[in-house]
Structure 1
């Protein structure tokens, strides 16, 4: 288990194959499908393939990827947060998703700020993007509150998204 960073309440670590049940549950959550998209992960085997070809492949190729976010002291996985490198975008982008019961408690903000700080320090990233569905008001508010600026829109996977940009210090 590779821990990337910790906050007062959270541990942010790389995903591994032992997280297949977590991924299966999160990617089939109604809010994940509505705001992020249907990844067609329906079985534990699908989840293992998603982990292998998604986050774990990104760690090897890019040195970063989406990470598991868990409550400190409990090992309870509550969501994921990290950076993606998509061919369609010039710079890496911040991604996050949390189970509904952990939304509105500041966990996403705490995780996103820690991931941004780690990306600037460890990878010398100075421009990081983020995309959101235009109707995802909570996500847009979160991005603006941590220093992202809305710069326009970007079509990804056949859907128009708001495009945000962050400049690290």
Structure 2
């Protein structure tokens, strides 16, 4: 019996860069959440490092709603050849939480308290551009509830999530 040897795997590389995240933090004392998000969407401010890390491709912000896009790539894959659930969860968390950010006045910050995700379909590079839209469902003095929906290029629902965010006063500069 002859033993065969598999051909070596083709090596792929990816290089990326990011900007200093403290630049965004400094702006929180002088701009509303919506203003910061719209400045990122217009290219006047760089996106946060996590968006650059996953290769996000678009951002649109309105009061109470944020939409982000991503083109699935091989570097998003898990061991079974589909986009890792952590990437999908990151998109959902970003859209939901940034929707909350889009409603915040000057001097108020937020952080996610929880994220409840339901995965409905697998995602691969053939899924086309993913669109994730978040919306604020309810906002109070200390907490906000938001949801996000992720669809593929054909408009099929891939996953959805709800998120609770804690609202807090930012330290004075």
Question: TM-score of the superposition, structure 1-length normalised?
Answer: 0.28
Normalised to the residue count of structure 2, the TM-score between the two structures is 0.28
Higher relative contact order (Cα pairs below 8 Å, separated by 6+ residues): 2
More helix by share: 1
